[in-house]
Structure 1
Amino acid sequence: MILVDTNVLLDLVTDDPNWADWSIAQLEAASLRGPLLINDVVYAELAVRYGRIEELEAFVGEAGLEIVPIPRAALFLAGKVFMQYRRSGGSRTGVLPDFFIGAQAAVSQLTLLTRDVGRYRTYFPSLTLITPGI
């Protein structure tokens, strides 16, 4: 099973000229390995791009995504990692969603498909990542 990060899905939604082809190819390859999962955080981040829930639901269905809840152990880990981030001088406020996603992948032993390499490798070094070769 593969957890898909928001940035990969937004590449499709926005038809990103730099990343859409890579993201489509990775999603197709990943779907052959098992179910493609998103969590509530990814769903909420995608919702920003849609005017109606029915449109988002249609995208989720067409993309073959399965929504899975974040386990409590992952929520706890995300909080701890966020605290570590802040103590090490991190000042960005929008990072907590990434920590929810990374913690779920770590706790549930899921491969994570993402373009956000640095933060996941730094705070979740045990994760198996599918990333661009940047």
Structure 2
Amino acid sequence: MTLVDTNVLLDLVTNDPVWADWSIEQLEAASLAGPLFINDIIYAELAVRYERIEDLDAFIDEAQLILAPFPSAALFLAGKAFTQYRRAGGSRTGVLPDFLIGAHAAVQKLPVLTRDVGRYRFYFPTIELISPAG
């Protein structure tokens, strides 16, 4: 079971010239180990790239992604980690989704397939990260 971060999926959607091949390879490898999950936040972030919900849902079906709900413990942990971030002087914009995704992975002990490891490593050191950095 692997939680797939938005940036990896956007590599496929946009056919990113630098990252698409890596992301496809990692998704295939992760799918051999078990189901691939996304959550509501990842779904919402992907929606930015689609005009119609049917097209997004078709992509999710084709990629064999499972939409997994947030456990309340993950939502609570995300809020606490975000509070720690803000108290340390972190900016307010665009980061709460990372805390929600990281907390979801931490609470359910899911590895995260991502290219963006910084906040995950610092605020959720227990999660396994599958990334280009290793």
Normalising TM by the smaller chain, what interval? over 0.9
Q: Which residue of 2 aligns with 1:80?
A: 80
Q: Which residue of 2 aligns with 1:98?
A: 98
TM-score by length of 1: 0.98
CA distance in 2, matches of 1:21, 1:133: 16
Q: Which residue of 2 aligns with 1:13?
A: 13
Report % sequence identity: 74
Shift of 1:116: 0.7
Shift of 1:133: 2.4
Misfit runs of 4+, over 6 Å: none
One-letter amino acid of the counterpart of residue 12, structure 1 = L
Shift of 1:114: 0.5
1:110 is paired with a residue whose SS is: coil
Gaps of 5+ in 1: none
Shift of 1:85: 0.4
CA distance in 2, matches of 1:126, 1:9: 23
Q: Which residue of 1 aligns with 2:30?
A: 30
Q: Which residue of 2 aligns with 1:113?
A: 113
Shift of 1:93: 1.1
CA distance in 1, matches of 2:133, 2:102: 19
2:39 aligned with 1:48, yes or no? no
2:49 is paired with a residue whose SS is: coil
CA distance in 1, matches of 2:45, 2:117: 18
Shift of 1:92: 4.0
1:66 is paired with a residue whose SS is: strand
One-letter amino acid of the counterpart of residue 89, structure 2 = G
Q: How many residues align?
A: 134
TM-score by length of 2: 0.98
One-letter amino acid of the counterpart of residue 8, structure 1 = V
